[in-house]
Amino acid sequence: MEIVFSHRGIALTESMLKKAERAVLKASERVPRATAAIVRFDQNGPERRVEIVFTAPQGMRLVAAEAGRYWGPVLDAALVKLVRQASKERHTPSRRVAGRG
């Protein structure tokens, strides 16, 4: 899986980037067909925002974003949303079966 980090103009520590990489790799286990992940870090004053985008074949995209005051909890909350989306995607039927009537 290819992982791209975007954090223009934001000084992130190496440990935060490693934590994000480990967390994304672990979350990718829930999305077995994921081919790439983009992790965007953004900051507007005291508010920090993390957006994670997983892409998979056939145009499937999972997007999760979260905002807060500190990078660690914001990253964790965005990953929770992403994993929740992945589990919903897995359990959603791909086609509807007509009922008997």
**pLDDT tens string 59-100:** 789 999 999 999 999 999 999 998 888 777 655 555 545 555
pTM > 0.85: yes or no = no
Parse the chain into domains and list their residue ranges: 2-91
Angstrom distance (rounded) from CA 40 to CA 6:
5
pLDDT digits (tens, 9 = 90+) for 50-68: 999 998 878 789 999 999 9
- The CATH T-level fold of domain 2-91 is Double Stranded RNA Binding Domain (3.30.160)
- Residue 65 CB contacts under 8 Å (≥ 6 apart), including other chains: 49, 50, 51, 52, 78, 81
